[in-house]
């Protein structure tokens, strides 16, 4: 995500930090590089001009030149202005009103409206709301079936639209369907076109008139750059959008759409799609995105993902087992499952501050299938073997390998790695002042350790 832009900013900041004292001349040199970086990232030229002008006004003033660390002060100014460019504060969904609260999803074909509808339904479900999905696209073949399948995957009711119904009839009937099923939110997946035309807009206006939606969200493909901005302008002019969902942001190496849309349309980005899975959608936080773009990482998002994936009671139990030296392969398997719930490890690493400067981490390819293999090997063991790996002899290893579809070498690697991890845990508990039987030798703060 924004790889090219992040790399350019890191070089610019390295130059600024290397200057003992900043002058107007070298600030202007740095800003020229900022301007080029943004234009190459396909950011709207008017947005670039205004953005650089605001930074220059602040950077050449006393705020920076009189600072003891002028380089850091310029970086602070760029960070603050980038947050403002992206929208300032997060714009959340407005869900007040008489249930079911209607939300319309609009956009061109191929932007990801149908999948986004299911993603938002799953997100709302996690927030203890009861969403209902409505397929109102009767033109695209299999659009209705696609939403029915997605709804069944996340266990969310879907209004059973028929291809011979008019969209207006569908949304009217869907409201009663949602009420009957006790749903408080209506997510309407509308039809798209290959390009904006009058017929599409007229239909969407009619649906808006019937539904009186609390939110009209435009779904656009981030990778289309300035085309996404132009589409947003057109839809906003006709429908008065309340928010934008940027899809495929994980594949957007430039970032032009994300950095231009709010300034050009005045419409906030509310969500971003960062993968194909149904949980791969995030609330858009301008401050966090600005930090990612500038190579500062996004630790808050990592923490939130960890809180979702890791059970607090389970974590306490694990600490106790480590301190008592009773950590087993079953505990290791539980940790593997928790780590898998965090999502893509490559993406998690990408959220760490400074990773862009570390080539070995930046280009690391982590095979998530390895966790599945490890779990399969442990599952092929008996309960006795998982609790006491020392009893696993050659014949047991052959049986475990055959049962897990792996090799004896894979089983050996797992057992060796597990034993090394246990030794490291013992050393850490001793250094933390905890005896092997769990009695404290010194009054020190208890540390929580995870092998990942």
Cβ(218)–Cβ(241) under 8 Å? Answer: yes
Cβ(421)–Cβ(451) under 8 Å? Answer: yes
243-247: strand order across its sheet: 131-135, 185-189, 101-106, 215-221, 243-247, 269-273, 281-283
Residue with tokens 């139990």: 317
Which tens digits make up the pLDDT trace of 296-332?
A: 654 555 555 555 556 667 667 776 776 777 778 888 8
Q: Residue 93: CA atoms inside 13 Å, Cβ hemisphere, count?
A: 25
Percent of the chain with pLDDT over 90: 31
Strands 101-106, 269-273: pairing is: unpaired
Going by pLDDT thresholds of 50, 70 and 90, the confidence category of residue 45 is confident
How does the average pLDDT of the chain come out, rounded?
Answer: 81
CA distances from residue 426 to 124, 194, 325, 423 in whole angstroms, order as listed: 43, 61, 7, 5
Going by pLDDT thresholds of 50, 70 and 90, the confidence category of residue 348 is low
Choose between 358 and 102: higher pLDDT. Answer: 102
Run of H or E including 422: helix 408-431
- Enumerate the β-bridge partners of residue 202: none
- The torsion defined by the Cα of 139, 140, 141 and 147, in degrees rounded to 10, comes to -110
Tell which phi-psi region holds residue 358, choosing left (phi > 0), alpha (psi between -120 and 50) or beta.
Answer: beta
Cβ(391)–Cβ(367) under 8 Å? Answer: no
Task: Residue 39: name the closest of 259, 290, 265 by CA.
Answer: 259
3 state SS of 187: strand
Cβ(338)–Cβ(310) under 8 Å? Answer: yes
Which tens digits make up the pLDDT trace of 120-151?
A: 999 999 999 999 999 999 988 788 999 999 99
- How many CB atoms are located within 10 Å of the residue 384 CB? 9
Run of H or E including 220: strand 215-221
Q: How far is it, in rounded angstroms, from Cα 87 to Cα 261? A: 9
To the question of pTM greater than 0.85 for the whole model, the response is no
- Inform me whether the pLDDT recorded for 442 exceeds 60: no
Choose between 34 and 341: higher pLDDT. Answer: 34
Supply the pLDDT for residue 245. Answer: 93
- Inform me whether the pLDDT recorded for 405 exceeds 70: yes
Cβ(351)–Cβ(297) under 8 Å? Answer: yes
Out of 56-65, 198-207, 298-307, 419-428, least confident range? 298-307
- Helix 24-40 × helix 70-86 angle, to 10°: 30
Give all domains of the chain, ordered by start, each with its CATH number: 3-86 (1.20.120.140), 101-297 (3.40.50.300), 303-431 (1.10.260.30)
């Amino acid at each position: 995500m924004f790889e090219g832009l992040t790399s350019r900013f890191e070089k610019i900041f390295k130059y600024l930090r290397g200057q003992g004292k900043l002058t107007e001349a070298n600030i202007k040199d740095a800003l020229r590089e900022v301007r080029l970086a943004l234009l190459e990232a396909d950011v709207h030229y008017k947005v670039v001009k205004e953005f650089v002008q605001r930074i220059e006004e602040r950077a050449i003033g006393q705020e920076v030149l009189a600072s003891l660390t002028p380089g850091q002060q310029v970086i602070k100014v760029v960070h603050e202005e980038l947050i403002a460019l992206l929208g300032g504060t997060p714009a959340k969904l407005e869900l007040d009103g008489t249930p079911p609260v209607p939300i319309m999803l609009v956009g061109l074909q191929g932007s990801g409206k149908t999948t986004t509808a299911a993603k938002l339904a799953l997100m709302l479900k996690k927030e203890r709301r009861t969403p209902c999905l409505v397929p109102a696209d009767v033109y695209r073949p299999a659009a209705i079936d696609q939403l029915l399948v997605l709804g069944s995957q996340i266990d969310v009711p879907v209004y059973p639209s028929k291809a011979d119904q008019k969209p207006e009839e569908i949304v009217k009937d869907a409201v009663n369907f949602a009420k009957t099923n006790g749903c408080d939110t209506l997510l309407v997946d509308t039809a798209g076109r290959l390009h904006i035309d009058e017929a599409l807009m007229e239909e969407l206006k009619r649906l808006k008139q019937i539904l009186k939606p609390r939110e009209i969200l435009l779904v656009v493909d981030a990778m289309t750059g300035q085309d996404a901005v132009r589409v947003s302008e057109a839809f906003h002019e006709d429908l008065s959008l309340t928010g934008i969902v940027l899809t495929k942001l994980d594949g957007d190496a430039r970032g032009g759409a994300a950095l231009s849309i709010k300034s050009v349309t005045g419409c906030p980005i509310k969500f971003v799609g960062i993968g194909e899975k149904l949980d791969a959608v995030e609330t858009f936080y301008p401050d966090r995105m600005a930090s990612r773009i500038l190579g500062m990482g996004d630790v808050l998002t990592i923490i939130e993902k960890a809180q979702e994936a890791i059970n607090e009671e389970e974590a306490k139990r694990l600490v106790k087992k480590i301190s008592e030296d009773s950590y087993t392969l079953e505990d290791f398997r539980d940790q593997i499952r928790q780590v898998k719930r965090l999502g893509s490890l490559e993406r998690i690493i990408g959220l760490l501050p400074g990773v862009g400067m570390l080539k070995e981490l930046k280009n690391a390819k982590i095979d998530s299938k390895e966790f599945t293999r490890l779990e399969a090997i442990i599952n092929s063991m008996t309960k006795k073997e998982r609790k006491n790996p020392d009893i696993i002899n050659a014949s047991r290893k052959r049986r475990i390998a055959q049962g897990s579809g792996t090799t004896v070498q894979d089983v050996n690697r797992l057992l060796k790695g597990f034993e090394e991890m246990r030794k490291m845990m013992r050393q850490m508990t001793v250094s933390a002042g905890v005896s092997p039987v769990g009695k404290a030798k010194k009054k020190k703060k208890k540390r929580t350790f995870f092998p990942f």
